[in-house]
Copies of this chain bind each other. A is one copy, B any other.
Amino acid sequence: MPVRADAQRNAARVLAAARRAVASTGLDVSYHEIAREAGVGVGTVYRRYPERDQLMAAVLSDILTELTDTAHQALNCDDAWEGFSSLFTSLALRTAQNAGLSGSLDQHGGPAVAQQRHELLDLTRKVIERAQGQGRLRRDLAWQSVLRLTGAPAVQGCVLGLEPDPAHGHLVVLTVLLDGLRTD
């Protein structure tokens, strides 16, 4: 017997809800919250992902797949700076949307996700080094440092209590960072 249609539908709903929930709450989001967000019962979420790691692996894999696509496009872009800045922007916005993840990719996901991540890192390194090779991107920063900068626009506020303004805030940070990174 094939997979039932409603089961497939719910699986998609749960994954989408998990992505949203992880993005807003973090990796320690409760199963109940995911179920609520998905509009299904907790039992359904537990049946689909008996282990928390399986759920996180699915979420992370989903994100990594999207980003790998973007990285390939960036590497195929004729202009090295344009490729770099578009990938940088994508990474930054994605990081901002998933502020809850912050560096805990290693603990979750297992070897399959690790492999996916390694692939994306490799692509990203190539994009950065190509832009540096063409003299468009400053060379005084290691590619890892450049990559880490993508986390900067994830800012949610400041000690002075200015309202966060996530809509335009990220873009301002991105603009200034890119201006600080380009060489011409």
Contact = CB atoms under 8 A, between A and B. Distances in A.
Most chain B CB inside 10 Å of its own CB: which residue of A101, A124, A144, A148: A148
Interface stretch (A35-43, A45-53, A128-136, A168-176): A168-176
Given A180-B178, A180-B179, A172 B145 contact: yes
Secondary structure dominating the interface of A: helix
B172 A124 contact: no
A94 interface: yes
A184 B117 CA distance: 39
Interface bracket on A: 35 or more
Nearest to A155: B151
A178 to B, nearest CB: 7
Given A103-B164, A181-B176, A148 B158 contact: yes
A50 to B, nearest CB: 24
A98 B155 CA distance: 12
